Structure 1
């Protein structure tokens, strides 16, 4: 294994990817300011739905989140030009991860993937050519990297795409229900809005999505299909960018193809002034056993995480238990009707919560998910306890998945002020239904 992982190969793909990656993460940070995402998601809400256990992570007060994102954008720019690369990529990783954990109202699998890529970029030697660091310290310059860099990123991408494909193999996707629902909100699009409502388009999206996710990595690895796969990727990702407005991810995905093409090709086309490294030497660092162990453990965790919902009672589409970090992308639409009743047993007073007094319209969508209901109830409990009131909270929540009839989600007899959240198994107060 040492001869495979630590064989030196030309580093042109990594150097070029660093430049593109730095530009994209800077655009992601500054784009969040320009589009109003920060205002809607982090400033306007009274509180955020953080990942459970990370409640201490809350947005900075006032307009300080703008400064936070300006700094993030600058670190991304420094990553692109390779200035104090290691410091800036680690700083962006920490800042991005903190924002990811402090809110999940705008949860997106791509945000999680970016964390993984940032960690990857934090440990690889991506600043050893075409960087300010090399200009300041010429001893850093080199034209090679260990082969594990290529293996690591391709294996990670294969896991992501394969699980995304497998997750789509369920009735509501196969009969094109989900693509149809997703396209209904695009009917106003110029030129293509009416076309996107056609049944054949819905079925094309459904089955093309399954096949693309399943086959794209093998197709890029095979020389005979690589160019075709690349052009299909361009169409697929630009379509997603135009239709779904999912930020930098489509362009990041296209940048991944750098790792699939021959290093000679990347060097010749994009880094002509860089000497090509074609030696076949193997140089393992003193810590190669620890690094090998880290790579194996990392990939095993990535392989195992998307499987966890199979060991939790209930349908993950309904309970959401085990949904996140599992590459279950754009698989369902949900709508809900939620009534939250507060009972004060000391004076027998009962009243219903006005959700709009606490939550933005976007945050109210979190009440279609059990963890969102639980967290909101804990927030209400804390508010009333601070006033000296020991309250009971009861929820009547009805949820529709993919346009199906509404069904009760939360046990209406459960006092949610006393409910516990189970991280690893099914929460009994989430009602299950047999179709």
Structure 2
């Protein structure tokens, strides 16, 4: 354990802070410029927040533009290293708010960004090449304990490992998902012709598994590091072009700085930074933070993606345990949901106008996901309660995974407005099927 406290050049952490701040600004200003904020947080009358956080709704009017502009400004301040812990801390809180506020456009890299900001808040990334160090020379330092780098390596290793593990299911292994994904992502007829070839989409499927499984081990060893770096650049640039997933490819590439020798990062990015000699003193910097925050944190990160194995049913179908588990770009869900709303007093059927209460994007996202269907049922009940009506809400939902035959997702005889959502176990109103396609009772 003493080796974790060995002092090394802090160039990787400083460089990563600069990259991170720049990417935070790109992500948040870009969300405004591309219309993401408008379509997800301004146009909707309400958002599908994470369950338990329904109170977390967008600011009225154009408030969310200012919200994201504030985050973009904070990102630039993090990049410059100005009042680092205050600016990064405030960004983390605001980003957590935006993350938990909506899940119509859920993306795993939003979650990863939140985790990395949390990690970076504890790390001394403002000791060099920062306004803080210039204004307060007493904090300036050329080194950091080696555990700072290993925490970041551990986090990215967890992401890649579970991303690889999640791909071992039939729809990925037979190329079904990658074929459909590429066919919908590529607009060029010539490229689409190539990418629709079986050899190509199978290659992409198995290359994805191999990359996620091997990239971290290859980056850790000097002899294979260059191969891993080249593969990373090709893999992430390919994803950036074909999938158009924002900053994530560049964000993932930025972790590479922690795998190379600190001296290499200093020579490449911080040439004016003085060379330092490793300090192998007995001073255990950050011992309490490492022991009492980061070790429990990493244990939790290792356990969270495993929770769906303890929940009854296939997570690919039920979505229970899907989030926070690095199950990235795995499946395409299509389907439709009709709600049957019954006035408990009269027994008559009531009408609810989705077109005026949901955007098309919200409706498409809600129709195939049990948690959002459940939330919609509760929203319908509340809306009718405002009219003085007590209603029961039943859902007839039919869903297909990766183009498979449609199957009923929700028990149509269960009043979802009165049903309970279970965070840790299977919700009985989500219908389960065996391998033969028969309903499991």
Given the two structures, how large is their TM-score scaled by the length of structure 2?
0.96
Matched residues in 2 for 1:424 and 1:145: separation? 39
Using the TM superposition, give the Cα deviation of residue 356 of structure 1 relative to its aligned residue in structure 2, in angstroms. 2.2
Matches within 5 A, 1:43-62: 43-62=42-61
Using the TM superposition, give the Cα deviation of residue 284 of structure 1 relative to its aligned residue in structure 2, in angstroms. 4.1
Instruction: Name the SS for the 2:396 alignment partner.
Output: strand
Instruction: Name the SS for the 1:209 alignment partner.
Output: helix
Residues 40-93 of structure 1, C-alpha deviation per residue, up to 9 Å, x if partnerless? 000011110000011111000000100011110000000011111111000110
Instruction: Name the SS for the 1:129 alignment partner.
Output: coil
Matched residues in 2 for 1:141 and 1:77: separation? 20
Matches within 5 A, 1:417-432: 417-432=417-432
Matched residues in 1 for 2:125 and 2:332: separation? 40
Runs of 4+ in 1 over 6 A off after TM superposition: none
Query: More deviation in 16-25 or 288-297?
Result: 288-297
* Match in the other structure for 2:392: 392
* Match in the other structure for 1:29: 28
Instruction: Name the SS for the 2:191 alignment partner.
Output: coil
* Match in the other structure for 2:171: 172
* Match in the other structure for 1:414: 414
Corresponding pairs, count: 434
Using the TM superposition, give the Cα deviation of residue 211 of structure 1 relative to its aligned residue in structure 2, in angstroms. 0.2
Instruction: Name the SS for the 2:219 alignment partner.
Output: helix
Matches within 5 A, 1:206-355: 206-282=205-281, 284=283, 288-289=287-288, 291-355=290-354
Corresponding position: 1:434 with 2:434: yes
Using the TM superposition, give the Cα deviation of residue 194 of structure 1 relative to its aligned residue in structure 2, in angstroms. 2.7
Using the TM superposition, give the Cα deviation of residue 285 of structure 1 relative to its aligned residue in structure 2, in angstroms. 5.3
Using the TM superposition, give the Cα deviation of residue 352 of structure 1 relative to its aligned residue in structure 2, in angstroms. 4.4
Matched residues in 1 for 2:282 and 2:255: separation? 26
Residues 84-126 of structure 1, C-alpha deviation per residue, up to 9 Å, x if partnerless? 1111000110000110001011111111000110011111011
* Match in the other structure for 1:369: 369
Distance 1:318-1:148 versus aligned 2 partners, 3 A rule: same
Distance 1:357-1:50 versus aligned 2 partners, 3 A rule: same
Instruction: Name the SS for the 2:338 alignment partner.
Output: strand
Distance 1:81-1:286 versus aligned 2 partners, 3 A rule: closer
* Match in the other structure for 2:193: 194
CA contact (8 A) 2:343 2:349 kept: yes
Given the two structures, how large is their TM-score scaled by the length of structure 1?
0.97
Matched residues in 2 for 1:83 and 1:190: separation? 48
* Match in the other structure for 1:136: 135
Using the TM superposition, give the Cα deviation of residue 148 of structure 1 relative to its aligned residue in structure 2, in angstroms. 0.9
CA contact (8 A) 1:17 1:258 kept: yes
Matched residues in 1 for 2:106 and 2:154: separation? 24
* Match in the other structure for 1:402: 402
Distance 1:254-1:286 versus aligned 2 partners, 3 A rule: closer
Using the TM superposition, give the Cα deviation of residue 290 of structure 1 relative to its aligned residue in structure 2, in angstroms. 5.0
* Match in the other structure for 1:358: 357
* Aligned CA-pair RMSD: 1.3
**Mind listing any 5+ residue stretches in structure 1 that lack a counterpart?**
none
